[in-house]
Structure 1
Amino acid sequence: MTHKGDRRVADMGTLKAIAHPLRMQLYRALHVAGAATASQLGEQVDEAPSLVSYHLRKLAEHGLIEEAEPRSGDGRERWWQPASEGLSVHDEDFRSAPETSAAHTAFARLLVDQRADLYRRYLDERQAWGAEWTGASSDSESTLRLTPDELAELNEELLTVIRKHDEKGREREAAGGTEGRENVAVHLYGFPFRV
Structure 2
Amino acid sequence: MSFTSGRPEERRQITDARALRALAHPLRLALLNHLMAFGTQTASQCAEVIGSTASNCSYHLRSLARYGLVESVDPEDGRERPWRTTATGLQFGRSEEPGFAYGAESVERALIEKQIDDEAELTRRAIAQRSELPPEWRDASMLSGYALRVTPDELRELGEKLDALIRPFIGLTREDPPEGSDVVALHLNAYRHPDAGLS
Q: State the TM-score, normalizing by the size of structure 2.
A: 0.84
Match of 2:127 in 1: 123
What aligned pairs does 1:13-162 form with structure 2 within 5 A after superposition?
13-72=18-77, 74-75=78-79, 77-91=80-94, 92-93=96-97, 99-162=103-166
Aligned CA distance change for structure 1 residues 97 and 147 (closer, same or farther; 3 Å): farther
- CA distance in 2: counterparts of 1:82 and 1:66, whole angstroms: 6
Aligned letter for 2:191? F
Does 34-43 or 89-98 show the bigger shift? 89-98
Query: Which SS does the other structure have where 2:104 is aligned?
Result: helix
Query: Which SS does the other structure have where 1:182 is aligned?
Result: coil
State the shift of 1:171 in Å. 3.0
- CA distance in 2: counterparts of 1:65 and 1:164, whole angstroms: 22
Aligned CA distance change for structure 1 residues 134 and 94 (closer, same or farther; 3 Å): farther
- CA distance in 2: counterparts of 1:121 and 1:95, whole angstroms: 38
8 Å CA contact 1:10, 1:94 repeated in 2:
no
Higher relative contact order (CA 8 A, sep 6+): 2
Aligned letter for 1:70? P
8 Å CA contact 1:94, 1:104 repeated in 2:
no
Match of 1:187 in 2: 187
Aligned CA distance change for structure 1 residues 81 and 97 (closer, same or farther; 3 Å): closer
Query: Which SS does the other structure have where 1:187 is aligned?
Result: coil
- CA distance in 1: counterparts of 2:100 and 2:70, whole angstroms: 27
- CA distance in 1: counterparts of 2:186 and 2:48, whole angstroms: 25
Aligned-pair identity (%) = 37
Q: Which runs of 5+ in 1 are unaligned?
A: none
Match of 1:163 in 2: 167
State the shift of 1:94 in Å. 8.7
- CA distance in 1: counterparts of 2:140 and 2:105, whole angstroms: 38
The root-mean-square deviation of aligned C-alpha atoms, in Å, is 2.2
- CA distance in 2: counterparts of 1:141 and 1:135, whole angstroms: 17
- CA distance in 1: counterparts of 2:101 and 2:18, whole angstroms: 15
Q: State the TM-score, normalizing by the size of structure 1.
A: 0.86
Q: Which has the higher helix share?
A: 1
